[in-house]
Amino acid sequence: MHRRAIVAGLAALPLLAAAAPARALVAPRVRTLSFRHLHTEERLSITYFKDGEYVLRALASIDHLLRDFRTGDVRPIDPALLDTLHALAGLLGKQTFEVICGYRSPATNSWLRKHGEGVSSNSLHLQGRAIDVRLAGLPISRLRDAAVALARGGVGYYPVSDFVHLDTGRLRRW
């Protein structure tokens, strides 16, 4: 019985592959992102993945753009977070992410916790694993829904502040 189940499963694989969109089966060879940082007005459009590898200079440019704009501190941004952004831009047909917050230094995080609400003491912003964004010209509810559907980490929805929080932590939403 076990052998029949395996054979039946293997026989179904070509049908499953044919039913899936071709682009879902092949990872993009080139991955490009575009950003506009709303606090610094800096813009960046850059290819960060090419020929099967992350482009180190491009990652450094993204790290700089997503630095803590209050202190100037820079930390490497998790490439998995960039891949999530790339996937979302592709799904939603939009290009430019408007950045509210990328990396956040311990000093900034502490200040925000004292002067605001909802700032975690263990924020993934501190590790370069979170970003607060919106996509130019797109309702943030659509960005939230697409991010939840991707199921790649945490998704926070902040309609009053007009942004979506994305991170590479465990799967959760709020």
DSSP states along 92-106: HT--EEEEEES---H
> What pLDDT digit, counting tens, does each position of 79-122 carry?
999 999 999 999 999 889 999 999 999 999 999 988 877 788 88
pLDDT at position 116: 77
Predicted TM-score (pTM) of the model is: 0.82
CATH architecture assignment, domain 27-173: 2-Layer Sandwich (3.30)
Percent of the chain exceeding pLDDT 70 equals: 84
CA 27 to chain CA centroid, nearest Å: 16
- Which has the minimum average pLDDT: 3-17, 92-106, 148-162? 3-17
The yes-or-no verdict on residue 35 having pLDDT over 60 is yes
pLDDT at position 115: 86
pLDDT at position 97: 98
Q: Which residues contact 63 (CB under 8 A, 6 or more apart)?
A: 74, 75, 76, 77, 103, 128
pLDDT at position 120: 87
State the burial class of residue 56 (Cβ atoms within 10 Å of its Cβ: 0-12, 13-18, 19+): exposed
Q: Determine the longest span between alpha carbons in the chain, in angstroms.
A: 64
